[in-house]
Structures are given as structure tokens and as C-alpha cells.
Amino acid sequence: MDISKKLVERCRQGDNKAQFELYKLYSDAMYNVSCRVIPDTMEAEDAMQEAFFKAFDKIDTFRGEVTFGAWLKRIVVNTCLDHLKRKKVLTVSLDETPGLSDDVSDEVDYDPESVEEVKQALNKLPEGYKLVLSLRLIDGYEYEEIATMMGIAQSTVRSQYVRAKRKLVELLKNKI
């Protein structure tokens, strides 16, 4: 039995030290996930903390069908999305990005020179675009999963994703 499974079992028995150990084990990774969804680092940290509280509160629902980290990551993403829904920044109106077609092709032809360049360009994207792009490219969620998490149509997610990629490429080609 791996360490996280043992810690989960101890958490189920009410062991606060095990909760702290799980927190130490996963907090950095979950903070990074949270920061990809919520751009403000303080808000991202608050959302991550809230997600850990939710996870420990619902630890009995963890069935081990996926890794604890994957289960926790889903809680973190959903908590961050809830946070953004309260702030109403999940989607960007199609009118906010003139010049981008509605074509939902995944073809994007650009080879960025550096990771830093991509990070800078990502930070310039509208929040809704950045969110969909991060959930799809970085976190690996499918369109249907993102649509469910965000409470929007799958076609909206797909077009947001394509528009986000195009906007990112445009920023990169223009050297941000």
C-alpha cells in the first residue's frame, strides 16, 4: 500500500497528523493547479485551502478508483471554478475577441521560442480563455468534462478553446 493510501485510511479514522501529511504531500501541486485556474495568487491559495477542507470533509467518499491526487485535483479545479462562477469570469463573449473566426479546428502552427514567452502570453489572455486552455492542455480534461465543470455547453468550451489557442498564437507571433 502506497503512502497516500495509508494516509487516507488514517484520515478516515480522524487522524489530524495524517491530514497534515497529505497536505504537505499534495499542496504544492494543488497550488499550481489552482494558480492555473485563478490568476490572483492569494485567491488561488484560498481556493486551494478550501478544496483541502472539502476533501478532508468528504474523505469517506474517496473510493480509490483513481489516485488520491487525481481525486483531490478534481476537487481543487471544481472549487476554483466555483470561485470564478461567484466572480462571473468563466466565459468570454464572442464579441470580446474580434477577428477570430468561429472555426473550431485544432490546427495551430507555431513553435514558441521559450516557456517564459508562453507564460507571458497566457497571462495576457482573457480569464475565460486562459481557464479553458489550462483545463484542456495542461490538466488534460476532455471538452465534455470541462463543460460539466463549468456548467456550459460542450460546443462553447470547444470554441472557447480554439479561440484561446488562436489568441495565444497571435500573442506569441507578435512577441506578446
Give the tens place of pLDDT for each residue, 3-14: 888 999 999 999
Residues 6+ apart with CB under 8 A from 121: 112, 168, 171, 172, 176
How many independent structural domains does the chain possess? 2
Q: Do 22 and 59 sit in the same domain of this protein?
A: yes
154-165 pLDDT, tens digit per residue, is: 888 898 899 988
pLDDT in tens, 48-85: 999 999 999 999 999 988 999 999 999 999 999 888 87
82 and 140 inside one domain:
no
* Whether residue 125 sits in one domain with residue 74: no
On whether both 37 and 101 belong to a single domain, the answer is no
Q: What is the CATH classification number for the domain harbouring 116?
A: 1.10.10.10
Task: Evaluate if residue 45 carries a pLDDT over 90.
Answer: yes
Total-model pTM: 0.66
Q: Which of 69, 87, 105 is the last residue of a domain?
A: 87
Pair 47, 105 in one domain: no
| More confident: 69 or 123 | 69
C-alpha to C-alpha distance for 93 and 105, rounded to whole angstroms? 19
Question: Are residues 78 and 30 both part of a single domain?
Answer: yes
Using the 3D structure, point to which of 47, 65, 87 is the last residue of a domain: 87
Query: Which residue, 71, 87, 103, sits at the end of a domain?
Result: 87
Tell me: do 107 and 39 sit in the same domain.
no
* Domain that includes residue 128, residue range: 94-173
Look at residue 88 in the predicted model and tell me its pLDDT: 65
**9 or 149, which is more confident?**
9
Question: Do both 122 and 160 map to the same domain?
Answer: yes
* Alpha-carbon dihedral sign for residues 133, 81, 63, 13: positive
Model confidence at 20, pLDDT cuts 50, 70, 90, reads very high
How would you write the chain as a 3-class SS string? CCHHHHHHHHHHCCCHHHHHHHHHHHHHHHHHHHHHHCCCHHHHHHHHHHHHHHHHHCHHHCCCCCCHHHHHHHHHHHHHHHHHHHHCCCCCCHHHCCCCCCCCCCCCCCCCCCHHHHHHHHHHCCHHHHHHHHHHHHCCCCHHHHHHHHCCCHHHHHHHHHHHHHHHHHHHHCCC
Per-residue model confidence as pLDDT tens digits over 92-110: 444 444 444 444 444 444 4
CATH number for the domain spanning 31: value is 1.10.1740.10
